[in-house]
Amino acid sequence: MTDTQSAIKDRIETFVMDKIVPFEKDPRLGPHGPTDEMRRELNALARAAGFFAPHVPQKWGGMGYDHVTMAVAFEAAGLSPLGPIALHCAAPDEGNMNLLDKVATDRQNQRWLKPLAAGDIRSCFCMTEPGGSGADPTGLLTTAQYDGDDFILNGRKWLITGARGAGFTIIFANVPESAGKPAGATMFLADMSTPGISVARDIDTMDNSFTGGHGEVALKDVRIPKEDVLGKVGEGFRYVQVRLAPARLTHCMRWLGGARRAHNIATDYARTRQAFGKPIGQHEGVGFMLADNEIDLQQSRLMIWWAASLLDRGENARHESSMVKTAVSEALFRVADRCVQILGGLGITRDTIVEQIFCETRAFRIYDGPSEVHRWAIARRILKPDNRGLPR
């Protein structure tokens, strides 16, 4: 880290531990995440401390950090599941802001990105479908039929993070062939209040750190004008990669902070908990788990910084981000699992944050592509006749 990055790390860590961690027992934090009222209160604290929206370009009111500095800041924020929400760098808003900044028109950004970047509204990303698009986005079932200059959308989305209470959404839909007009996977922008869009249900999941939780969204004859197409018709798969490659890394950054918090709690416990005549950390069975945690955490951090540095050089880092997402999600789950084991009975209770971090990191192995899909994609690239562009 540079001196500036080190100072950012120290200041955000202090802020999160002193100001945000006390909210982890707030009654406004429920099974579907914190309420919007609580989110706004956390945002205000981060804004007052000078840490609001570190990833957002300065022209939209953010701090404009590069990807490596984001990695430092996001890890520090991730010490609490509420830290990224406070700093306004949590999913899905963080990924949506990045996508809009790169793809949307100025009119679209004034309408949607500007209030999102300010924290006035939230957003969601409607891609995943029950039985359809998910880890394989080519299985897209939602359709967007031409109707004059408009599109009529029909379909169903699920596991849509933050759907309940979101101000707007980005919808991924397939435009069928129609009289030679552009067709294919396409992204659309729409206010969640648009007629035909409804949150059919809130899905109970093993995690609870996202504002609005995860919802199932019904799309029934939703009319969207052509000026609200995000980018170009038929270019949806390309824009997915614009969004997902950096978003995979930011997931890794945030949950690295959580795993480090769990490791710190387990380490403190291992220093003081007595068993068989000495602190349990002095028994090899526990001490070796702590050592393996330290290894996994540092390897994860270095992999994240490596891929982030490629993004800062202007590379798409698609291959590298798949490698990092797979390795880091599995490493952090190992860390969280060991921490539960070290804490023993305490680890399965909610007396510490470790139980929640364990659940969050288990879900992370599925978010933004399960490990198996990333390994499949990595292998396909390795086996191409000319893979000289891949890391050696």
Query: Of 192, 210, 234, which one is at a domain's C-terminal end?
Result: 234
Same-domain pairing of 155 and 219: yes
How many CA atoms, within 13 angstroms, populate the side-chain half-sphere of residue 320? 20
pLDDT exceeds cutoff 80 at 390: no
Q: Cβ(119)–Cβ(55) under 8 Å? A: no
Does position 151 have pLDDT exceeding 90, yes or no? yes
Q: How many domains does the chain have?
A: 3
pLDDT band at 135 (very low <50, low <70, confident <90, very high): confident
For residue 387, tell me if it sits in a domain.
no
Percent of the chain past pLDDT 90, that is, above it, reads: 93
**Range from 56-65, 234-243, 272-281, 344-353 carrying the lowest mean pLDDT:** 234-243
Identify the CATH number of the domain in which residue 247 sits. 1.20.140.10
Both 330 and 345 in one domain: the answer is yes
262 and 186 together in one domain: no
**DSSP state string for 38-67:** HHHHHHHHHHHHT-S-TTS-GGGTS----H
Any idea how long the chain is? Answer: 392
Structural domain of residue 149, as residue ranges? 123-234
User: Are residues 370 and 254 both part of a single domain?
Assistant: yes
Domain end, chosen from 217, 234, 251, is at: 234
Asked if residue 13 is part of any domain, the answer here is yes
Among residues 204, 234, 264, the one where a domain terminates is 234
Model confidence band, residue 134 (pLDDT cutoffs 50, 70, 90) = confident
Is there a domain that residue 113 lies in?
no
Instruction: Say if 70 falls within a structural domain.
Output: yes
| Dist CA 337 CA 315 (whole Å) | 34
Cβ contacts of 24 within 8 Å, gap of 6 or more: 80, 81, 82, 353
The beta-strand segments (E) located in 119-196 are 123-126, 143-147, 150-161, 168-175, 184-191
**In this predicted structure, what is the pLDDT of residue 215?**
98
The answer to whether residues 316 and 242 belong to one domain is yes
Both 213 and 265 in a single domain? Answer: no
Is residue 10 domain-shared with residue 143, that is, in the same domain?
Answer: no
263 and 365 part of one domain: yes
- The C-alpha atoms of residue 184 and residue 288 are separated, in whole angstroms, by 52
Per-residue pLDDT at 140: 95
**Tell me, what's the pLDDT at 26?**
97
What mean pLDDT is predicted for residues 266-283? 98
Candidates 44, 131, 40, 56; CA nearest to 93 is: 56
Q: To the nearest whole percent, how much of the chain has pLDDT over 70?
A: 99
Q: What was the pLDDT predicted at 388? A: 61
Asked if residues 119 and 52 have their Cβ atoms less than 8 Å apart, the reply is yes
Tell me if 86 is assigned to some domain.
Answer: yes
Please choose, from the candidates 244, 198, 192, 273, the residue with its C-alpha nearest in 3D space to the C-alpha of residue 367.
244
- Does 356 map to a domain? yes
**Which pLDDT belongs to residue 39?**
98
Distance of alpha carbon 296 from alpha carbon 265, whole angstroms: 16
Mean pLDDT value across the chain: 96
pLDDT band at 45 (very low <50, low <70, confident <90, very high): very high
Any domain includes 154:
yes
Span 34-60, average pLDDT: 97
- Does a structural domain hold residue 25? yes
**What tokens were used for 157?**
């989305």
Q: Which residues of 96-128 are buried (b: 16+ CB within 10 A; e: fewer)?
A: bbbbbbebbeeebbebbbbebbbbebbbbbbbb
* Tokens matching residue 317: 């880092």
CATH number of the domain bearing residue 13:
1.10.540.10
- Whether residue 81 contacts residue 353, with contact meaning beta carbons closer than 8 Å, is answered with yes
Same domain membership, residue 77 and residue 30:
yes
pLDDT of residue 136: 87
Q: What mean pLDDT is predicted for residues 248-264?
A: 97
> pTM for this structure?
0.95
Q: Which residue has the tokens 């969204």?
A: 217
Please state, in angstroms and rounded to a whole number, the distance separating the CA atoms of residues 63 and 60. Answer: 9
Same domain, 215 and 340: no
pLDDT at 282 over 70: yes
Tell me: do 377 and 246 sit in the same domain.
Answer: yes
Q: How far apart are CA 264 and CA 311, in angstroms?
A: 30
pLDDT, tens digit, for every residue of 71-89?
999 999 999 999 999 999 9
pLDDT tens profile 186-239: 999 999 999 999 999 999 999 999 999 999 999 999 999 999 999 999 999 999
User: Greatest CA separation found in the chain?
Assistant: 81
Shared-domain flag, residues 305 and 344: yes
